[in-house]
């Protein structure tokens, strides 16, 4: 996180609320991921934070990209230095995977000239891809355990492993090529057994596919879910990486291409919000502070991501448990009901670290309040 002195200086210079993105931390997080998982090519999950400046930093550092909408696809294409290439390459798989299993026909039509790599998990999607994006390569997404993950995804996406090879054969019968398998263990996954079980399921499906003649299935996308270190209860990433490396060696041949879709892990710790105290009251025996950012803006992850962000004061002094509210007229706009804060005055600044993932990306203009201004440092 940027130093408190720098955060206060930036707030004085640009005003608040202010969303500070530290690109040195972005690069450090990506380097850590690649060092700990050298067999895995990281495809940054753009949905975690789709700011173009972040895309450019990750691209320059050697990352690829996981997109889940045509808007995210355009963001990546518009912000990588040498795209489009002078000569159309056959595939863009080394740069982008469209990892949303459900796509509308207009999206598929726009993607098709790029011969993209796209995920699917059902028969209807096979027929849709065949009609609107016949030049796409396919990745079959499996349903795997999401036990203990903060945000589970298994109820919405993923083919049952028992149906997987039949779906591979259905795609082949439609004239499409399934290049590999993918899974997602759920966001902020602190239960490492999810990965072990998912890898075992993928290994079983892949071997059955090979036995039926589908030897082209050689890509494994292990999805995202890599936990950000929000607090001391989150086990270190190096422990998960050690487990994954061992499973890769045990289960898969050295020439297997392995991808991953880290989002939260790469951006969460790289961003800090600075806000201003705009109101102060005592209600039912509790001190209440109102700040100029809330759950309809940078703190949106409280609602959408099941995440809690601490609100910290620059001012020192004895603390008491306080309520912290956002600026809108909605009572839902509650950031915390038990935040330890010192005595604050109107105009004082507060900050929330580790708020880079699924936060600013979900900001709205509810009540007419704009999203926080963004400032980039160490670009």
d(CA 77, CA 277): 39
d(CA 247, CA 173): 32
d(CA 210, CA 354): 43
Sorted by sequence, the CB contacts under 8 Å of residue 337 that are 6+ apart come out as 286, 323
Strands 373-377 and 18-22, by their bridges, are parallel
Identify whether the C-beta of residue 62 lies closer than 8 Å to the C-beta of residue 36.
no
> Active site includes 329?
yes
Which of the residues are catalytic?
329
């Amino acid at each position: 996180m940027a130093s408190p002195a720098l955060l206060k200086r930036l707030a004085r210079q640009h005003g608040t609320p202010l969303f500070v993105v530290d690109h040195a931390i972005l690069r450090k997080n990506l380097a850590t991921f690649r060092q700990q998982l050298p067999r895995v090519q990281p495809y940054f999950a753009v949905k975690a934070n789709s700011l173009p400046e972040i895309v450019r930093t990750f691209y320059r550092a050697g990352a690829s990209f996981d997109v889940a909408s045509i808007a995210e696809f355009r963001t990546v294409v518009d912000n990588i230095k040498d795209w489009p290439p002078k000569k159309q390459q056959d595939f863009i798989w080394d740069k982008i995977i469209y990892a949303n299993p459900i796509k509308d026909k207009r999206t598929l039509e726009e993607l098709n000239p790029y011969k993209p790599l796209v995920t699917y998990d059902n028969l209807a999607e096979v027929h849709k891809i065949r009609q609107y994006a016949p030049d796409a390569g396919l990745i079959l997404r499996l349903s795997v355990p999401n036990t203990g993950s903060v945000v589970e995804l298994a109820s919405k996406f993923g083919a049952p492993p028992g149906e997987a090879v039949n779906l591979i054969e259905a795609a082949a019968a439609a004239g499409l090529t399934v290049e590999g398998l993918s899974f997602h263990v759920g966001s902020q996954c602190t239960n490492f057994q999810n990965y072990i079980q998912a890898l075992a399921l993928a290994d079983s499906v892949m071997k059955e596919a090979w036995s039926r003649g589908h030897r082209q299935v050689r890509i494994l996308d292990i999805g995202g879910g890599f936990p950000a270190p929000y607090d001391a209860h989150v086990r270190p990433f190096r422990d998960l990486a050690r487990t994954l490396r061992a499973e890769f060696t045990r289960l898969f041949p050295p020439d297997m291409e392995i991808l991953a879709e880290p989002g939260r892990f790469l951006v969460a710790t790289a961003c800090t919000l600075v806000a201003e105290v705009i109101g102060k009251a005592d209600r039912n025996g509790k001190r209440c502070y109102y700040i100029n950012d809330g759950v309809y803006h940078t703190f949106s992850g409280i609602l959408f991501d099941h995440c809690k962000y601490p609100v910290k004061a620059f001012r020192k002094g004895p603390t008491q448990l306080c309520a912290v509210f956002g600026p809108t007229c909605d009572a839902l706009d509650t950031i915390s009901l038990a935040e330890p804060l010192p005595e604050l005055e109107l105009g004082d600044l507060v900050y929330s670290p580790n708020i880079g993932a699924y936060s600013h990306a979900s900001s709205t203009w509810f009540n007419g309040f704009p999203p926080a201004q963004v400032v980039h440092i160490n670009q």
